[in-house]
Amino acid sequence: MKSISIKAKVIVVLVFSLALGAIIQVSLVRDSYNKNVAMVAQSALTTAQKTFDNIKARELSSLALASSALVNIDAVRDLFAKGDRQVLYDYVAPTFADLKSMGINIVTFLDKEGVAFLRMQTPTSFGDSTNKKITTVRKAIDSGQVAAGIDLAKPGLSRGSCRPIRDKDGSILGFLIVGGSLDQFLATMKSQTSDDYIFMGYKSFLDEKLYHATRKAKGQPDTWGQFAGAVVLATSMDVRSDPQYEKDLQSLPAAGRLLGRSESGGSTFVNGVFPLYDAANNAIGGIFVRHDITALHQGMKRVQYLAIAALVALVVVLSLVIGIVLNRLVFVRLNRTMDIVTRVVGGEFSKQIVPTAADEVGRLEELFEQFRAIFVSVVDDLSRARDEEGKKSA
């Protein structure tokens, strides 16, 4: 049977133990990385949501101020009450031009039933009640109070403020809508966070023909056919046709949801999504967030490679050092002892086993020397006994 030396067994056990330690160490590094990534991803998602909420609050506040300023102009109230559409348009036109330079491109007067009286942006379009279908407007009409919020209106995503127009006695004459699109929201968010975003909304809130026309007029990509029940309203990155986007929008918690890591163009990202609500707190879509963690990922890989290299080097060095130490302290001495014992068994009795150190192997050497001495003594006794028996026989 082929034997395996103790030295080989010890080295194998040593290498295995150190390799196991290396695997555990790498696992700990990876676990630490995953925890850091999760923290960074959650922070990016929370920051994006807070940034959006802050921008929305600021924009809605400016809309509320603009609508308040308009309805508090006596001439505006009087012209609206008289029902003189053209004169009202001419009077408000300079103010509307100023508002458009501020990104407010919707100023609409409604009668108290919610029927459009004058749209400053399209003055020839009036007499319809479609605006009552907008949550912010419906909320203001139903409550008789100021309402403001985000809406997924027929052409797309918009922000707006709707407030009652009252006469001097406080009776409601009608309503004023002041608002604008959310096209600049994405650019503002990206400039503040450096992350990429996708604004998506549900098709059920949109008019397909109006959506196509609006996207074409703005020179924006038409994504109506890209997904079954949702459309891309704004984006700062390429959006693949993947049904997972719609799945990620389903049953979104208010705090949003982390979506894991992704790779693109040699960069590594963490992703998340949070819901988009209208003025009545209805979910109308969601905002996807992509945060670049390439530096963190590459740093983790460097640490992992360095840890593996260091552990491999440690395994090699420790194996050599321990092998040399074991060889000098144990195996060389055992081999010398076995060589002497073998010679003694072969009849060479002159070699003595001298203990080389006061340790376990030294005590073993001492015991073997005692056995050798007893063996040699027994052999000598037997040899003398044979010699005496030979003399007597002669």
* Runs of H (alpha helix) within the chain: 6-71, 74-82, 85-101, 135-143, 183-193, 208-218, 244-249, 294-326, 332-345, 360-393
pLDDT computed for residue 289 by the predictor: 95
Mean pLDDT of 339-350: 74
pLDDT band at 154 (very low <50, low <70, confident <90, very high): low
Q: Which helix (H) or strand (E) holds 151?
A: strand 147-152
**Ordered structural domains, the chain, with CATH:** 22-292 (3.30.450.20), 299-382 (no CATH)
pLDDT computed for residue 37 by the predictor: 84
pLDDT computed for residue 1 by the predictor: 42
pLDDT band at 149 (very low <50, low <70, confident <90, very high): confident
pTM for this model (two decimals): 0.71
Q: In the Cβ-directed half-sphere of 274, how many Cα atoms lie within 13 Å?
A: 20
Res. 2: pLDDT tops 70: no
Res. 92: pLDDT tops 90: yes
DSSP per-residue codes, 174-241? EEEEEEEESHHHHHHHHHHH--EEEEEEEGGGS-HHHHHHHHHHHT----TTTSSSEEEEEESS----
pLDDT computed for residue 129 by the predictor: 79
Give CA–CA dist 212/203, Å, rounded.
12
